Structures are given as structure tokens and as C-alpha cells.
Amino acid sequence: MPKAKSLTEFEKGQISSFSEEGHSITWISLRIGRSRRVIKNYLDNPTTYGTKTKSGRPKKLNCRARRRILAELSNSTKSVRQVQREIVPNVSHCTVWRAAK
């Protein structure tokens, strides 16, 4: 979790302009009142500053596949394995069963 709030648009503009003028990160941090680390992070890559990276394992089933599984299992007498073979053959039958819970 961050220790302080993210940079405002005004602060980002100040940092960019001071950096273009040739001022050091230490000078900018004293002038703006923010840490050297946050200023360096912003100057390293201003376009991705403040965005989170995706973490965790990606889902095997998307929303559409989940809906199809539920519809197929609720409207027929097919087993979980049969539905898995027809709709999503690239996942385990246990994953299909979990989606149906």
C-alpha cells in the first residue's frame, strides 16, 4: 500500500517542467515537498505512473463460457464431463464443476 497520496496532475506538470529545465531530483523534491523516490518513479516512466499491474493467475473461464456452462447444465441431463468436452475442452472437468456451483 502506498504511504502517501499519488501525485496530482499539477505536481506531475511541475516535476516534468523542472526536469526539462535541468534541475536535479533532490532539488525538485525539496521544491515540491515529495520524496525523491516518488519523483524518480514518475520521471522513469510518466505514462505508467500510478497504474497497477495485474497480479494473480488468469481465469480459465470467461463470463461467456460460465454462462454457457450454467445454461447447458440447467437445461439438459448432460454430465459435467460431457459439457466440458463440448464447450471448453481445454479446461478440467473440475473447473467446469466449480463454475456450476
Distances (CA, A) of 56 to 49, 50, 53: 20, 19, 10
Task: Tell me how far CA of residue 49 lies from CA of 11, 13, 68, 76, in angstroms.
Answer: 13, 13, 39, 50
Give me the pLDDT at residue 1, please: 60
How many C-beta neighbours within 10 Å does residue 32 have?
Answer: 16
pLDDT band at 5 (very low <50, low <70, confident <90, very high): confident
Per-residue pLDDT at 28: 96
Q: What is the pLDDT of residues 77-94, one digit of tens each?
A: 888 999 899 888 899 999
Q: Which helix (H) or strand (E) holds 65?
A: helix 63-74
- 88: closest CA among 57, 61, 59? 61
Distance CA 54, CA 69 (A): 26
How far apart are the C-alpha atoms of 98 and 76, rounded to whole Å? 18
- Taking the C-alpha atoms of residue 98 and residue 54, their distance in angstroms, rounded to an integer, is 23
The answer regarding whether domain 63-100 maps to CATH 2.40.50 reads: no
